[in-house]
A and B are shown apart, each in its own frame.
Chain A
Amino acid sequence: ETGVTQSPTHLIKTRGQQVTLRCSSQSGHNTVSWYQQALGQGPQFIFQYYREEENGRGNFPPRFSGLQFPNYSSELNVNALELDDSALYLCASSFTRDTEAFFGQGTRLTVV
């Protein structure tokens, strides 16, 4: 059984650019959530996908968007990058919406 994997591990982008981060869920998990973690803070919920539909959203602007694919892998897209978007982006998958979430290793995004 493979765990949650994210790619890339590190990324540097310029302000105003767009970025796509990818997540492969743990085998058998149909729910994926994305979190943003600033340095020294706890992760902040961005949104969740359940069976390919957005199932909930945190306090993030529309330029943060996502997709979940039939194999339950997922993408996080961020448009018009701002300096404050620099953070560790975490993907978490769970067997259902009601069970514990398991996190990937994260993607460190730096916006310059």
Chain B
Amino acid sequence: EDQVTQSPEALRLQEGESSSLNCSYTVSGLRGLFWYRQDPGKGPEFLFTLYSAGEEKEKERLKATLTKKESFLHITAPKPEDSATYLCAYTVPGSARQLTFGSGTQLTVLP
């Protein structure tokens, strides 16, 4: 059965303390792996899409990487405004291209 698991569930960092969030997946025929950021009470904000193992994408302090079994979201020198829940999701080939989400990692960056 296809599934995605995110770890840790929650992470507290000091400002400037770099770390990584993990998204492990077991999917037959992955089409795309997505990262979203979600602030409390708001809709998810698109960050990255990765399509093949070895692919990397960067945006400001965030870098997403993809292997055949997992994806990492690396956060370099985080700031308090990076505090949010980070969600990963995948799509598989098919007409709907629906996103299947993990439960997220709640990141808190302390000043």
Is B29 part of the contact surface with A, judged by Cβ < 8 Å? no
A42 to chain B, nearest CB (A): 3
Size bracket of the B interface: 20 to 34
Q: What is the distance, in angstroms, from B6's C-beta to the closest C-beta of chain A?
A: 8
Question: Which DSSP category, helix, strand, loop or mixed, fits chain A's interface?
Answer: strand
- Of A14-22, A63-71, A78-86, A104-112, which stretch is located at the interface? A104-112
- Per-position contact with A for B71-111: 1 when CB-CB < 8 Å, else 0? 00000000000000001010000111111111110000000
B35 CB → nearest A CB, Å: 10
Q: What 0/1 pattern do residues 23 to 42 of A give for CB contact below 8 A with B?
A: 00000000001010000111
Which of B14-22, B40-48, B59-67 has 4 or more CB atoms under 8 Å from chain A? B40-48
Q: Given A40-B103, A42-B104, A56 and B95 touching (CB < 8 A)?
A: yes
Task: Name A88-111 residues within 8 Å CB distance of B.
Answer: 88, 90, 92, 94, 97-98, 100-106, 108
Interchain CB contact under 8 A, A42 and B98: no
Interface string of B38-56 (1 = CB under 8 A from A): 0001111110010000000
